[in-house]
């Protein structure tokens, strides 16, 4: 087409804002090719790649004076950029998060909150269940129908899947999310959680690393336990970032009168 335009005497310039356009559409591009969402794995860790202190200890590394949590300014837009945010039930039991988008920015669609919970241990009094409003999905392999019914009664969608090595099958989860039009999935699971960093090694598209200038030591929980050392070719297919690169340019606040 460019040659035809040039032959007609029209000046053609290719590649204008090419990298920006790719970043803007990488979630859709991934979905259109694989019918699965772009998977972003968020990891907060220390310089020695540890995400939690040794068992029995409570001292955590700090990124901004709080226990090993990403600083608010660069972290908050991550959920805004995603169609869905996922965590494991162990994280819910440990931290009782809301897992909501509190950026205040307009969204393409409401944020879908997802929990992987093989045994349906999701607390009924958790913040996520208390605020469920057709935006919370639990994927499980449990046959506890009474528990599932109680969660559904509280506005939680429960999806029972066939077990894969006793756990929720990640591939099936991604297939379901893809069928529902989820373009970008942000995972916020530690290695202690069900399907932590190692469990996602075959599924993630990119990693976003928050690194605290601290050392926890060899007895602390490693961020990437169980993951093989990637070859040079494979490492190029993964994007590791110490600072979150926005998928979309942040919109300007709406003018108010």
Q: Is 104 a member of any domain? A: yes
Q: Are 189 and 99 in contact (CB under 8 A)?
A: no
Domain range holding 121? 36-241
Residue 221 lies in a domain: yes
Residue with tokens 């030591």: 217
3-state percent helix, strand, coil for the chain, nearest multiple of 5: 30, 20, 55
Q: Is residue 48 part of a domain?
A: yes
pTM over 0.85: no
Q: Are 214 and 65 in contact (CB under 8 A)?
A: no
Q: Is residue 68 part of a domain?
A: yes
What pLDDT sits at residue 136?
98
In the 8-state DSSP scheme, what is residue 124?
A: T
- Whichever domain contains 184, its CATH number is 3.40.430.10
Q: What is the mean pLDDT of each run of 10 residues along the chain (257 residues)?
A: 90 86 81 90 82 67 48 65 93 91 90 96 97 96 96 97 91 94 88 50 66 83 66 42 44 46
> Would 115 be classed as within a structural domain?
yes
Please give the sequence-ordered ranges of beta strands (E in DSSP) within 80-168, or none if there are none: 84-88, 112-116, 136-140, 157-160
Domain count, the chain: 1
Asked if residue 207 belongs to a domain, the reply is: yes
**Listed residue (192, 228, 204, 200) closest to 60, CA to CA:** 192
Angstrom distance (rounded) from CA 43 to CA 49: 10
Does residue 219 belong to any structural domain of this protein? yes
Question: How far is residue 65's CA from residue 82's CA, in Å, rounded to a whole number?
Answer: 26
| Alpha carbons 111 and 185: distance in angstroms, whole number | 10
User: CA 218 to CA 196: how far, in whole Å?
Assistant: 19
- Phi and psi for 152 in degrees, rounded to 5? -65, -35
Q: How far is CA 235 from the centre of its chain?
A: 20
State phi, psi for 226 to the nearest 5 degrees: 85, 0
The answer to the question of residue 97 being in a domain is yes
- Token look-up 């307009």 returns 106
Q: Which of 152, 148, 132 is nearest to 140 (CA)?
A: 148
Rounded Cα distance, 122 and 148, in Å: 10
CB 77, CB 103: distance < 8 Å: yes
Extract the tokens encoding 178: 């893809």
pLDDT at residue 172, as a whole number:
94
- Kindly list the strands in the beta sheet with 239-241, ordered across the sheet, starting from the edge strand earlier in the chain: 157-160, 136-140, 112-116, 84-88, 184-187, 38-46, 206-212, 239-241
Phi, psi dihedrals of residue 221, rounded to the nearest 5°: -75, 120
pLDDT score of 139: 97
pLDDT for position 24:
76
Please name the residue that has the structure tokens 């996602």. 200
pLDDT at position 230:
53
Query: Using an 8 Å Cβ cutoff, are 153 and 145 in contact?
Result: no
């Amino acid at each position: 087409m460019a040659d035809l335009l040039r032959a007609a005497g029209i000046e053609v310039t290719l590649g204008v804002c090419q990298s920006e356009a790719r970043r803007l559409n990488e979630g859709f591009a991934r979905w259109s090719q694989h019918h699965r969402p772009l998977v972003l794995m968020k990891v907060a860790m220390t310089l020695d790649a540890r995400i939690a202190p040794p068992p029995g200890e409570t001292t955590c590394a700090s990124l901004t004076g709080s226990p090993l949590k990403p600083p608010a300014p660069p972290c908050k837009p991550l959920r805004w950029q995603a169609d869905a945010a996922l965590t494991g039930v162990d994280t819910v039991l440990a931290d009782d998060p809301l897992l909501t988008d509190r950026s205040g920015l307009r969204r393409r669609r409401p944020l879908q909150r997802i929990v992987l919970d093989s045994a349906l241990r999701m607390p009924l009094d958790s913040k996520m269940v208390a605020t469920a409003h057709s935006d919370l999905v639990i994927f499980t392999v449990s046959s506890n129908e009474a528990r599932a019914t109680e969660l559904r009664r509280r506005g939680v969608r429960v999806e029972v899947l066939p077990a894969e090595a006793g756990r929720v099958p990640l591939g099936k989860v991604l297939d379901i999310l893809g069928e529902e039009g989820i373009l970008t999935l942000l995972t916020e699971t530690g290695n202690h959680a069900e399907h932590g960093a190692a469990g996602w090694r075959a599924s993630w598209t990119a990693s976003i690393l928050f690194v605290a200038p601290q050392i926890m030591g060899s007895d602390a929980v490693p961020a990437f336990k169980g993951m093989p050392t990637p070859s040079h070719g494979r490492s190029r297919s993964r994007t590791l970032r110490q600072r979150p690169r926005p998928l979309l340019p942040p919109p300007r606040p709406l003018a108010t009168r």
